[in-house]
Structure 1
């Protein structure tokens, strides 16, 4: 598989207005999801009304979401330390955003013939924020995983939306795992020269600031970040008809690495190898 099919690069970031990354029906690797970035200057507005199910995630800035005759004022200054704020709209919701300061909003969309009540998710009602991998294998895969919504709290949705904060020099989404559901990762680093490694099946790819990785066809995937650079990942998954995403699949030879017994196994194996040479 070609790297340019797996990875969408935006080395210079995004322009003001709407920036296309993927679009349903026009993808090299079909995910059934449209993904883009809205950047607005202070005082600008943008129409968010769409015939698709849509999640609008505030990256940075101070804004006002207007939807279904409701308003929600939101502000986010740091996506590493602050949880996401997401307006989740059923298709054809009349909605817009007004920028009070310069702002950036991630747009995640898919088809959905179900209807549900549009609402904002924030710290008060997002699904969970987990410290995963803590205490395992020297904290080498310790990361923060924020899940905004999935089938547990948004059963009518065809999407799962969340974020990951991966600490410098650590792995994330580890052990490498698979699922048949298409997924997209969007990456930001704590410094623009930051970089990491992304797994996509047998392809090992250097990931950089503003990169977007496309994951399809049940390939194994995970990623890591170089020492010194904290990695932010926006991740979202599309449910398949009759097969919603619940949990990923881990290959048996690697699944032990997520169990509490992993530390003891590593040192037992290392001690055994050392004894072989005595």
Structure 2
């Protein structure tokens, strides 16, 4: 069994499902990644010693953060902008599900303090149509960067999403970085699939899979024709070595500048 990839073919049960641990003995990312599924009417409260990011995947929820209340909705991860709640340690947030909800949670150690923030289409960093007009659009994808060191300098996380069009590549050209990363995948149809490169290894990626990217291995992704692929990407900064930009594999770097 390869410990880089975690398969969850049947999805996730109601409640909290932990997918990667904070201090795993092997293949450690330093990120505790979980999926939270709430039924309509349920409440969930979080306050602990970790930095946390809550990314709404689907549903209608109300929140209370620093005694500020609000409501956020998301029905389709492919077509709608992300909503994420980013908190420092010891900050409390309360969610109330107004419908069935699914939330991705990323937690890591961080003693820095910063303002808790709600990110949506008004203040996320980028919604980039990357690769458009190049290589016959074979690596055209949408990259949504929610936050990184540019807008959250005291965070130990980077959070974003990719919309990978059917039959196209993303995370391309292959690139690497020393900081650990997690990809979590969804598809436009349950039977959808793609492939993820990790160095010289290639993994068949299916609905609800999670890939741990470690050891500066090159990574790139491709979706099978007919199936749109979505994935969350979460990176953990290393002490005195934050993630700023990837390093592209030299032999394929020319594709960054190629036209059709």
Q: Name the TM tier (shorter chain).
A: over 0.9
Summarize the alignment of residues 109-258 of structure 1 with structure 2, pairs less than 5 Å apart: 109-258=107-256
Contact 2:5/2:212 (<8 A) preserved: yes
Structure-2 change in CA distance of 1:27 and 1:88 (3 Å):
farther
Unpaired runs of at least 5, structure 2: none
Contact 2:133/2:259 (<8 A) preserved: no
Distance 1:62 1:168 in 2: 28
Distance 1:212 1:165 in 2: 16
Alignment match, 1:29: 27
Alignment match, 2:71: 73
Summarize the alignment of residues 51-66 of structure 1 with structure 2, pairs less than 5 Å apart: 51-66=49-64
What is the aligned counterpart of 2:96 among 84, 87, 98? 98
Shift of residue 94, structure 1, vs aligned partner: 1.5
Contact 2:218/2:249 (<8 A) preserved: no
Aligned to 1:126, the other structure's residue is in SS state coil
Shift of residue 26, structure 1, vs aligned partner: 2.4
Structure-2 change in CA distance of 1:27 and 1:210 (3 Å):
farther
Alignment match, 1:275: none
Distance 1:34 1:27 in 2: 13
Shift of residue 49, structure 1, vs aligned partner: 1.4
Aligned to 1:257, the other structure's residue is in SS state helix
Unpaired runs of at least 5, structure 1: 264-278
Distance 2:145 2:52 in 1: 16
Aligned to 2:208, the other structure's residue is in SS state coil
Shift of residue 202, structure 1, vs aligned partner: 1.2
Shift of residue 129, structure 1, vs aligned partner: 0.5
Provide, for residues 1-37 of structure 1, a one-character-per-residue CA deviation record: whole Å limited to 9, x for no partner: x52x010111000110000101111253111100000
Distance 1:28 1:47 in 2: 30
Contact 1:49/1:96 (<8 A) preserved: no
Aligned to 2:252, the other structure's residue is in SS state helix
Provide, for residues 110-143 of structure 1, a one-character-per-residue CA deviation record: whole Å limited to 9, x for no partner: 1101000101000111111000000111100000
Provide, for residues 201-233 of structure 1, a one-character-per-residue CA deviation record: whole Å limited to 9, x for no partner: 111110000000000110000110000000000
Shift of residue 262, structure 1, vs aligned partner: 4.6
Shift of residue 72, structure 1, vs aligned partner: 2.2
Tell me how large the CA RMSD over aligned residues is: 0.9
